[in-house]
Amino acid sequence: MFAMATFSRRHLLAAVTAAPALILGRKSSAQDSLPEIAKGPFDGTAESLRAYQIPEWFRDAKFGIWAHWGPQSGVEAGDWYARNMYIETQAQYKYHLEFYGHPSKVGYKDLCPMWKGDRFDPDHLMSLYKKAGAKYFMSMGVHHDNFDLWKSKYQPRWNAVATGPQKDVVGLWRKAAQKYGLKFAVSEHLSNSYNWLAVSHGSDKTGPMAGVPYDGTDPAYADLYHPFPKDQTIPSQAMSRVAPDAWKLQWFRRIKDLIDNYQPDLLYTDGGIPFGDWGYRLVSHYYNANAALHKGKVDGVYTSKTRKDCEAGTCALDIERGVANDILPDPWQTDTCIGNWHYKRDIKYKTAKTVIDLLCDIVSRNGNLMLNFPLPNSGALDGEELKVLDGITKWMAVNSEGIYGTRPWKISGNIPAPAAAELGFNERNRKDLSASDVRFTTKAGALYAFVMGWPEREAVVPTLALGGKLGVGKIRTVDLLGHKGKVQFTQDETALKVALPAEKPSDYAITLKVVGA
């Protein structure tokens, strides 16, 4: 290992030596070898975390917006640039050769200062997100690229205050979110970085530069590329989380620093809870620190993408680019993007209709939608992104009553029961919903039926037929959200039928507010 790894091990030994033999009244040799955490209801074990309960604000919020923005956004060439630029078979490697040069000479360390954010205005952006109906906002804290977006105590050179925009990005986002009354979230992707960036220690396999080491092998930049041993095989799995304890300690310290200084209402991790006991202690620290801010009650949310992590308390399940196939018993979250996670020029974005389809589907199944709007180098939304955001804004202004604070009904909609519990990355298989598709939510004695398109004259909802398998009772009133007048309806043993006005109140889905069913 390089000198930095030895340094980290020395500090780990010091931390272990200094740690008391008894932590929070519990004896455990395995636990005592790990860093201390804030005192509170959780003691750092998986068992204690099972008592965690998801707070009501998360159940009610339903819609959040994310800014997946960092040095890789500065290149404006899509996801995983800091890794793919070191892999010969990747399109971004070829892009890098053309525009920057060979990664043995011009590496990621040289791209980080090019990220400027010269038009970054978090106050203006937050005002747009608030208007669009977001109830919480998430800043990226650190991606797999090992670059922190705050004034980082344990990554002093490669952070957004020291390099690039020279701004405390996380702090500025937090200030703006609080100003507009949004809950503040932050994402961390750091635990995978040790393996993810290992490719920077490789070299070309073919061509005129074959065998010439990439710049990741330069020990002067080990604080960015990691002190990866020369004789260690570069892992093929980017997200494997196989790393020495020195790196686990570095991860723990940096995310603890993020928690302690920015006090997020939600902490997102990219994957399952990392590194066994290290991760359980980190989650416990987050909840305990959050409880100290809320008179002993945990009001924070930690998300994991591993269903097993969240089966008994512990956390909220996050499904990346996918939707649960049925109503889940506990609140959960989809995280997805209108394009690539990191900004990519000339990409085709999701339409506002696609976003609304997703939102209604997700909320009907007890979930929240966290939607990423990737920012370019400048930090300002592009024109096409603004069009998507405007479409969401207009729809939410009319229909959000059926979204916020709602709970699932008996069924999520007129869809068959799933054949298998497919989770994650299933949105690619989705088709646009139409007027024949309906999704349901409930709140305060009302049933909201989202008809996912505009019927020509009449909305027909067979699910709300009188009686039937669901035992639907007599409907007393039906209102069309956004329409000022009354609508005529009939209900019999075949369907609820609602006569619609000549002018639709909103694009995409319309919302019927039904009382008495």
277: which 2 tokens? Answer: 């006991």
At residue 406, does pLDDT exceed 90? Answer: yes
172: which 2 tokens? Answer: 């500025």
At residue 17, does pLDDT exceed 80? Answer: no
Read off the pLDDT band of 231 (50, 70, 90).
confident
With H, G, I as helix, E, B as strand and everything else as coil, classify residue 349: coil
Read off the pLDDT band of 73 (50, 70, 90).
very high
Name every residue whose Cβ is closer than 8 Å to that of residue 408 and which is 6 or more positions away in sequence.
327, 364, 365, 366, 440, 441, 442
478: which 2 tokens? Answer: 């039906």
pLDDT of residue 24: 30
Question: Measured between alpha carbons, how far is 300 from 297 in angstroms, rounded to an integer?
Answer: 9
Contact 207, 104 (CB under 8 A): no
pLDDT of residue 417: 55
Mean pLDDT, rounded, of the chain: 92
> Could you give all domains of the chain from N- to C-terminal order, each with its CATH number?
3-17+28-70+115-192+240-399 (3.20.20.80), 433-515 (2.60.40.1180)
Share of the chain above pLDDT 70, in %: 92
Read off the pLDDT band of 424 (50, 70, 90).
low
Contact 226, 248 (CB under 8 A): no
**Nearest of 452, 448, 460, 512 to residue 491 by alpha carbon:** 460
At residue 23, does pLDDT exceed 70? Answer: no
pLDDT of residue 468: 85
pLDDT of residue 317: 97
Least confident of 74-78, 261-265, 276-280, 467-471: 467-471
At residue 30, does pLDDT exceed 60? Answer: no
**Nearest of 321, 453, 335, 338 to residue 388 by alpha carbon:** 338
Q: Higher model confidence: residue 426 or residue 55?
A: 55
Read off the pLDDT band of 469 (50, 70, 90).
confident
At residue 481, does pLDDT exceed 60? Answer: yes
Read off the pLDDT band of 428 (50, 70, 90).
confident
175-227 pLDDT, tens digit per residue, is: 999 999 999 999 999 999 999 999 999 999 999 999 999 999 999 999 999 99
Q: Higher model confidence: residue 403 or residue 235?
A: 403
Question: Measured between alpha carbons, how far is 263 from 173 in angstroms, rounded to an integer?
Answer: 12
pLDDT of residue 456: 86
109: which 2 tokens? Answer: 């360390």
Share of the chain above pLDDT 90, in %: 87
At residue 105, does pLDDT exceed 70? Answer: yes
At residue 123, does pLDDT exceed 80? Answer: yes
User: Averaged over 422-445, what is the pLDDT?
Assistant: 86
At residue 502, does pLDDT exceed 50? Answer: yes
State the maximum Cα–Cα separation within the chain, in Å, rounded to a whole number: 78
287-341 pLDDT, tens digit per residue, is: 999 999 999 999 999 999 999 999 999 999 999 999 998 999 999 999 999 999 9
Read off the pLDDT band of 422 (50, 70, 90).
low
User: Averaged over 125-137, what is the pLDDT?
Assistant: 98
336-375 pLDDT, tens digit per residue, is: 999 999 999 999 999 999 999 999 999 999 999 999 999 9
pLDDT of residue 415: 78
User: Averaged over 53-70, what is the pLDDT?
Assistant: 98
For residue 106, the tally of other CB atoms under 10 A from its CB is 16
Q: Cβ-count burial of 97 within 10 angstroms (0-12 exposed, 13-18 middle, 19+ buried)?
A: middle
Q: Cβ-count burial of 17 within 10 angstroms (0-12 exposed, 13-18 middle, 19+ buried)?
A: exposed
Place of tokens 């011009």: 106
